[in-house]
Amino acid sequence: MTEDIAVEQAAAEEPKRHRLHFPTAITVLFIVMLFAAALTYIVPAGKYSKLTYDADQDSFVITKPDDSTELMPPTQQTLDSLGVSGSLDSFLDGSISKPIAIPGTYERVDQAPQGIVEFLLAPIQGVYDTIDIILFVFLLGGCIGVLNYMGALNSAVAALSRLTKGREYLLIIILSLLMVIGGTTFGLGEETIALYPILMPVFIAAGYDAMTCIAVIFVGASVGTMYSTVNPFAIGVATKAAGIAMSEQMSWRFIALIVGAVMAVAYIMVYAHKVRLDPSKSVCYDMKGKIEERWGQQGNSIEFTTQMKVSLAVFGLSFVVLVWGIVAQQWWFDYMTAVFLACSIILAFTSGLEEEVFFDKYIGGCGDLMSVALVVGVARAVNILLENGFISDSILNFFSGAVTGMSPILFIIVMLLVYVILGFFINSSSGLAVLSVPIMAPLGDAVGVSRASIIAAYNYGQGLISYVTPTGLILASLAMVDVPFSRWIKFINPLLVATIVLNALLLVAQVLVG
């Protein structure tokens, strides 16, 4: 009888050994890199002439497709003659600092296919280009490693769980809305990576799954960014590039934000409630034990000591300073990383750990986030291959030609789809705005669609693709909590479809109302 049971168990386990599984984040990115490299052999290479303002020379500099340059006086007349819609002040005050594409200047250039050597160099260059983000991730991981060793996070989670007992749903509502506000005001994005180690134990203790935590943080911030109202990195840059006031059709942006946020938060709450009642409904239920082993409370809750409270207060204050710096001082990752370097130094004293133990746990915490750092660097490699292959401008030129001469309604729907595709290849809100809006905005003029509607299509399209594009932030977010991309796709698909329909309806209504 025992032998029969053993044979049955072996037979049951056999298919699992050979079961196909979805590739990891790094593998997915290398597959996308191969696709990008292949496109450089297929898509005709081309460039637009680019316009920049050189403050040292007090002159506009035009870089032509053949890399020759021409200087022109920094006047509004120059911009008008070039067909560039941005205002002169936007260039002079540095609001538009990246090279801006000049409409009607696209030219074919010699093909620059990205071969094996270029393919191998791309992720290395990608790490170089994103070292500011990577260093931020490492220092954050070091702080978390120390706090975890102290037991500070577990003790704090236990205390928070007692406070929210019976009202756990408030975690979802409050935190989601905070993420939405961050996204719509200052483009909260990469900074959210810092939140997973803090909030994962909270959600697990509250009876939710890892996907609930990911959704609250990532979807919340993405919805805010997709329906940006005053976000300077999206709406600010785009309106300046289009030559319109940031206040134009602001009411529509607030309406879209409210509707989009309500729909997204409702979706997350329905899913979370279902999982809390029946954990088997989780899209990552089979990973429950592994996730709780890493993020759940380990054994009995230990005493929440004064050293723990002081250390957590230092860590929490770092986030307050971080948000202030981003919103009020327009900080980038150099200053943000400096905040956590200061936090690390203070923790060395407040933790009460011996110097050798402190650095051992600190370096271990840095190492825990190595996969996240690699995802960030390799994701940048995709854009490097496209840029070095001179096909980003070709893709933009193709789509700009495809939408000319359409009816206003069809035009704005196609424009949404165009920006979904462009958002995959150019995964930067400000970069996409500077490159595409000067080309697309005049096309809207020709068919009777306002430039504000073009900017809405740009925002909605890039927001939609950010939910699933491997070149965006989602893979880094999933890597933080060790959840496969396939589980995310299963979770996000219904919300993605609903958001596509909502965005299309919002754009049509905006065009009809004018």
| 53 and 167 together in one domain | no
| 245 and 336 together in one domain | yes
| 331 and 269 together in one domain | yes
pLDDT tens digits for the chain (514 residues)?
A: 444 444 444 444 444 444 555 677 688 888 889 999 999 999 999 999 999 999 889 999 999 999 999 999 999 899 989 888 777 888 887 777 778 889 889 999 999 999 999 999 999 998 898 888 888 888 988 988 888 788 776 677 667 667 777 787 888 998 898 889 888 877 777 778 777 887 888 898 888 999 999 999 999 999 999 999 878 778 878 888 888 877 888 889 999 999 999 999 999 999 999 999 999 999 999 999 888 888 776 545 567 788 888 988 898 888 788 778 866 777 777 888 899 899 999 999 998 889 899 999 999 888 877 877 787 788 788 889 988 999 989 998 998 888 877 899 999 999 999 999 988 887 777 778 877 888 888 888 878 899 999 999 999 999 999 999 887 889 889 988 889 999 999 999 999 999 999 999 999 999 998 6
Is residue 470 assigned to a domain?
Answer: no
Is residue 187 assigned to a domain?
Answer: yes
Is residue 80 assigned to a domain?
Answer: yes
User: What pLDDT score was predicted for residue 328?
Assistant: 77
| Residue where one domain finishes, among candidates 348, 364, 387 | 348
| 186 and 259 together in one domain | yes
In the chain, what percentage of residues exceed pLDDT 90?
A: 42
| 281 and 176 together in one domain | yes
What are the structure tokens assigned to 129, written together? 């280009």
Is residue 278 assigned to a domain?
Answer: yes
Is residue 154 assigned to a domain?
Answer: yes
CA distance 30 to 25: 9
Is residue 153 assigned to a domain?
Answer: yes
- Cα dihedral 441→45→124→221 (10° resolution): 20
| 316 and 192 together in one domain | yes
Closest CA to 415 of 459, 352, 368: 459
Angle ∠(50,53,59) on CA atoms, nearest 5: 110
| Residue where one domain finishes, among candidates 36, 71, 100 | 100
Is residue 172 assigned to a domain?
Answer: yes
Q: Based on DSSP, count helices (H) and strands (E) in the chain, helices before strands.
A: 24, 6
Contact 86, 51 (CB under 8 A): no
| 215 and 72 together in one domain | no
474-481 and 196-205 helices, crossing angle to 10°: 60
Q: pLDDT digit string (tens) for 265-304?
A: 999 999 999 999 999 999 999 999 888 888 776 545 567 7
User: What pLDDT score was predicted for residue 460?
Assistant: 97
| 53 and 182 together in one domain | no
Task: Tell me the C-alpha to C-alpha distance, in Å, between residue 244 and each of 46, 236, 240, 250, 454.
Answer: 29, 10, 6, 12, 11
List of residues 6+ apart from 310 with CB closer than 8 A: 350
Contact 353, 361 (CB under 8 A): yes
Closest CA to 469 of 510, 439, 428, 410: 428
Residue owning tokens 């809750």 = 301
| 304 and 227 together in one domain | yes
CA distance 340 to 191: 12
Q: pLDDT digit string (tens) for 158-190?
A: 676 677 777 878 889 988 988 898 888 777 777
| 89 and 156 together in one domain | no
| Mean confidence (pLDDT) of the chain | 85
Contact 413, 507 (CB under 8 A): yes
User: What pLDDT score was predicted for residue 22?
Assistant: 60
Is residue 191 assigned to a domain?
Answer: yes
| Residue where one domain finishes, among candidates 332, 348, 364 | 348
Phi, psi of 262 (to 5 degrees): -60, -45
Phi, psi of 303 (to 5 degrees): -60, 135
| 259 and 311 together in one domain | yes
User: 92: domain range?
Assistant: 49-100
| 295 and 217 together in one domain | yes
Q: How many domains are there within the chain?
A: 2
What are the structure tokens assigned to 453, written together? 């509607």
Contact 474, 200 (CB under 8 A): no
List of residues 6+ apart from 4 with CB closer than 8 A: none
